[in-house]
Chain A
Amino acid sequence: MRRARWAMVAALAVVLALVAGCGVTPTGVRAAGQAPGGVAPGPTLYFVDSDRHLQPQVRPTEQLGTIAEALSLLLAGPPADADLHSEIWGVGTVQVTVTMAPGVIRLMAPLASTDVTAFGIEQIVCTALGVDVQRGGARSTKVQIVFTQPTPESDTLRTCPLISPAG
Chain B
Amino acid sequence: MTARLAWPRGLRARSVWPRGSRGRRAWPRGLRARLLVAFVLVTVFGAAAAAWSSARSASTALAAGAERQFVETVTNQITANAAGLTYPPGQSTLDQLASAVGADTTVTYQNLRSTTGPDSDLITDAIRAAVQHGDSLFVQRIAAQGRPWLIVGTPVVITSTTGTRTPSGIQVYAVRDLTSVQRQIHSLTRSEAITTGLALPLAVLLALVAAGSVLRPVRRLRDTARRLSAGDLDARAVPRGADELADLTVTLNEMAESVQTSMAAMRRMQDDARRFAADASHELRTPLSTLTAVMEVLAAASQEMDGDARESAQLAIAETHRLVQLAEDLMEVSRFDAGTARLRTEDVEVGGAVRDCLRTRAWTDQVELSAPGEIWSRCDRRRLDVIVANLVGNALRHGAPPVRVSVSGAPEQVWIEVTDSGPGLPEQVLPHVFDRFYKADEARSRAPGSGLGLAIALENTLLHGGELTAGNASGGGARFVVRLPRGREDT
Contacts and interface: CB of A to CB of B under 8 A. Distances in A.
A114 interface: no
Given A26-B142, A32-B71, A35-B156, A18 B52 contact: yes
A8 B414 CA distance: 57
A164 to B, nearest CB: 10
Given A39-B158, A133-B159, A30 B41 contact: no
Interface in B434-461: none
B137 A63 contact: no
A112 interface: no
A30 B161 contact: no
B128 to A, nearest CB: 9
B354 interface: no
Interface stretch (B76-84, B223-231, B368-376): B76-84
B420 to A, nearest CB: 56
Interface in A132-167: 133-136, 139, 162-163
Contacts of A92: none
Given A22-B52, A26-B142, A26-B148, A37 B136 contact: no
Contacts, number: 170
B45 A22 contact: no
B59 A63 contact: no
A118 interface: no
A90 interface: no
Contacts of A38: 78-79, 81-83, 85, 156, 159
A27 B223 CA distance: 65
B56 interface: yes
A27 B170 contact: no
B130 A1 contact: no
A62 interface: yes
B87 A35 contact: no
A26 B185 contact: no
B86 A62 contact: yes
Interface residues of B, number: 66
A37 B79 contact: yes
B127 interface: yes
A31 interface: yes
Contacts of A34: 136-137, 165
A37 B82 contact: yes
B27 interface: yes
A41 B165 contact: no
Interface in B70-125: 71, 74-75, 78-79, 81-89, 124
B79 A26 contact: no
Given A24-B143, A134-B160, 12 more contacts: A11-B41, A11-B45, A23-B189, A24-B148, A26-B142, A26-B143, A32-B152, A36-B75, A37-B79, A41-B88, A135-B83, A139-B162
Ranked 7 nearest A-B pairs via Cβ: A38-B82, A130-B161, A24-B148, A36-B78, A37-B157, A37-B159, A1-B27
Interface of B: 25-27, 41, 44-45, 48-49, 52, 55-56, 59, 63, 67, 71, 74-75, 78-79, 81-89, 124, 126-127, 130, 134-143, 148, 152, 154-163, 165, 167-168, 170, 178, 181-182, 185-186, 188-189, 193
Interface of A: 1, 4-5, 11, 15, 18-19, 21-41, 44, 56, 62-66, 126, 129-130, 133-136, 139, 162-163
8 contacts: A5-B27, A19-B189, A30-B139, A31-B138, A35-B154, A39-B87, A40-B159, A134-B161
